[in-house]
Structure 1
């Protein structure tokens, strides 16, 4: 890479990092040569899809998923775990999950993992609280491809049209092979999927949300922007460091950050991120898989990074989107507000589907720390985040258009539908929004109407009568007393 290209990358990163929540929801590429993203993958009839990932054994929260009643969810199939089973038993678990999903109104997406054919120790998956066998290059590539072909041929006619190859290969508990072995595995699986169903959507493994912090900080440090790299790293892991649950340690200086990035774990992350970009840009996949659980202020930085690294237009699918926030600083009200910003920003950036994970926290032993925050409690009680999600899901189901919007002091998104428009708008930085007229709720308390003339520090969800985007812009402008324009 030339110095000029690296300088462009660094400038774009610095812009995104320093913008924070002042960045627009609809991200505009800033680096020379950026390809950007393609039109979103939409299968459910509206302008964008949404979804939820739940623990299949935690029953009370399923009432919420059933009430929403549409969208995507996903399940993981591991070749090594089932390849030696009798044909009649090989897909028994997948059959059960597919039936449950469809009965609840959800389209199932499938992650295909090789798993650990050599036996090896299982490692804990922190997102699900289960243990996984890390994958490696298939020991019998022909048999692996035949398995993938059989899987797709069997389930494509039953509505499974979206397939991901592996999962979070930058994490030790999911991938133990070399970076190039992963690239080869993607090509093997993608070739089999494409031959079995030429219309299928094929995705990469997705980089873990924590892995992106290493990738972004390392890119800045490589470009000589030491202080910006340190600030980004500290912001990325800030919430996880509060309780010691961070995958990477707290650093207080550029020297410490540089030393960390030379450590084996961080070096491996960067190598696997590079391999994932090689796989994505090789032509093997048809969409990019996004995982993100950090402070929504950092989302524009990540979206800009993805756009810069794509060498061809690809749609982005958000398979794992949520909030990782252990510790005493968490509140249900702030989580509700951040969920409105998070989902709204992704929709404005044409990400589809946006699958929230998890539906609910799965309780464990006395030492288990709640890291990933749900939409409902383990007992099934709706949280503000769940109420916000339900509003988005209802608006998206029959939506005809989505528009990112911006105005003096804020940003947001319009979801236009045949019976009205949902406007989700929020102030930049520490500002407030004042409801001049109209009907709205605050995302932090979605069941309580906001009084006319009241000022709110967080996002507002505003119901608009207009079924046309231009009319909706005029209506929300009147409700807020500011000129709201399309495009953020």
Structure 2
């Protein structure tokens, strides 16, 4: 074993032990249940986002004057094609990654013009913009870039050589864009990957504390958001969490289920596990240790109030969402909002090929992420890019490349409309799963069943398959299966659910 790897592993062990001590002393996580199931969702509903109290600061309202917790991420180079759809889902959120080394290519000569246009256009279409503040690698850091990504050749970030200059850049960015309605700022992005962060955990903590202070000083309304680790990192965290509880079988099952669509797609990077030894080998790998260190660092930063918001990225199969949130709620200080800045469906396994099933998975994923407590959920990508790295579209979009709305986009529009100004209600009862949106004494629910469930509808209630949303039918009951249905209810979700038990 190399000296470098032994050092990384030692730091990981120290960080995780420290994390346990913090939880024990501070008591900042919610009480744990005696239930030993991986999915901590109960048979009844849980209303409202238990781990968060609100959406993004200064949320922009849509054409109806009401905000939605849903949003999308798009290629600004195709903004004209996407404009009509974006206006139809106004009131939500998006994010943009701004890199110091790109804004200020020459020291002392920043160029904010591109970001100015993006911030202005976001406001014009009724979308709240959030920013990821990244350093990049250039004159402001030491060393040369080791990674380049995409057509814009974005590099990893490194620790600035002059922390004062970095703080001045953060201050300038927040002062400028708070005036254009931006009030949430994430510090870096997916730092558990070496292709995004070249520094150490200790350096990132120093960077985060410096940025956090400048953000709050520059905008009293601002919320500081953590780095948002990669979707795959949580599979490691979940398995490690269960293993430490002595729940070996659950840990193995959770790993294989979470990575159902990743196993075998990256060579030997992510493999199926069959024994505790297999799983320990994966967790003790260099990437595994790095993931666990940064997962714990995100918890520590929230516990010490350096960050205000826990940011997650999720691209796995929708069925992994409840397990993910069970893990998050045991590793996030109670009351800390959880926001899903990146939600999507990554599938190179070839298991799901038809558009109807992919469209239904968009609904199921967004429904579960919101139902489990995320106060923001941003779908990525808005549209497939045929000129991108992957011509087989492993990440499914809501629109065709030319902006034509897919069935997934129409479903997304229906969910946005239902969620505007509504209270989110988790639905998990009598074989029925989904989310309810309560507003003004009525509700709209999006539900399905992994088996077969007969649902009682209240007088005046209507049901429509997501395959034919324009054809709702009234009746005393509706039968649920794998294809989701939209229920239009004349009563709140809780009242409707009482009739199902």
TM-score scaled by length of structure 1? 0.84
User: Relative to 1, partners in 2 of residues 1:255 and 1:454: Cα closer, same or farther, differing over 3 Å?
Assistant: same
| Structure 2 residue 76 is matched with structure 1 residue 53 | no
Structure 1 residue 239: deviation in Å? Answer: 1.2
- Among 311, 320, 331, which residue is 2:333 paired with? 311
The alignment partner of 1:190 has SS state of: helix
Structure 1 residue 442: deviation in Å? Answer: 2.1
Q: Is the 8 A contact 1:402 1:414 kept in 2?
A: yes
Distance in 2, matches of 1:302 and 1:321, equals 13
Distance in 2, matches of 1:97 and 1:357, equals 17
- Among 311, 317, 325, which residue is 2:347 paired with? 325
Q: Is the 8 A contact 2:435 2:447 kept in 1?
A: yes
Question: What is residue 433 of structure 2 aligned with on the other side?
Answer: 411
Superimposed CA distance per residue, residues 286-310 of structure 1 (whole angstroms, 9 cap, x where no aligned partner): 1111211212222121112122122
Structure 1 residue 89: deviation in Å? Answer: 5.0
Q: Which moved more, 1:53-62 or 1:355-364?
A: 53-62
Question: What is residue 32 of structure 1 aligned with on the other side?
Answer: none
Q: Is the 8 A contact 2:463 2:473 kept in 1?
A: yes
User: Relative to 1, partners in 2 of residues 1:13 and 1:258: Cα closer, same or farther, differing over 3 Å?
Assistant: farther
Structure 1 residue 83: deviation in Å? Answer: 3.0
Distance in 2, matches of 1:342 and 1:417, equals 22
Superimposed CA distance per residue, residues 448-487 of structure 1 (whole angstroms, 9 cap, x where no aligned partner): 5468566331321122345xx3xx554x46xxxx7158xx
The alignment partner of 2:158 has SS state of: coil
Q: Is the 8 A contact 2:433 2:447 kept in 1?
A: yes
Distance in 2, matches of 1:400 and 1:199, equals 23
Structure 1 residue 247: deviation in Å? Answer: 5.3
Distance in 2, matches of 1:302 and 1:9, equals 17
The gaps in structure 2 that reach 5 residues or longer are 1-16, 25-29
User: Relative to 1, partners in 2 of residues 1:439 and 1:220: Cα closer, same or farther, differing over 3 Å?
Assistant: same
Q: Is the 8 A contact 2:52 2:337 kept in 1?
A: yes
Superimposed CA distance per residue, residues 78-123 of structure 1 (whole angstroms, 9 cap, x where no aligned partner): 1123334476752122112112222222121111011123352353
User: Relative to 1, partners in 2 of residues 1:13 and 1:409: Cα closer, same or farther, differing over 3 Å?
Assistant: closer
Q: Which moved more, 1:104-113 or 1:80-89?
A: 80-89
Question: What is residue 196 of structure 1 aligned with on the other side?
Answer: 218
Alignment of 1:221-240 (within 5 A): 221-240=243-262
Distance in 2, matches of 1:382 and 1:447, equals 16
Structure 1 residue 322: deviation in Å? Answer: 1.8
TM-score scaled by length of structure 2? 0.82
Question: What is residue 156 of structure 2 aligned with on the other side?
Answer: 134
Structure 1 residue 352: deviation in Å? Answer: 1.8
User: Relative to 1, partners in 2 of residues 1:243 and 1:25: Cα closer, same or farther, differing over 3 Å?
Assistant: farther
Distance in 2, matches of 1:25 and 1:250, equals 33
Question: What is residue 282 of structure 1 aligned with on the other side?
Answer: 304
The alignment partner of 1:58 has SS state of: helix
Q: Is the 8 A contact 1:335 1:384 kept in 2?
A: no
Distance in 2, matches of 1:332 and 1:354, equals 22
Q: Is the 8 A contact 1:40 1:351 kept in 2?
A: no
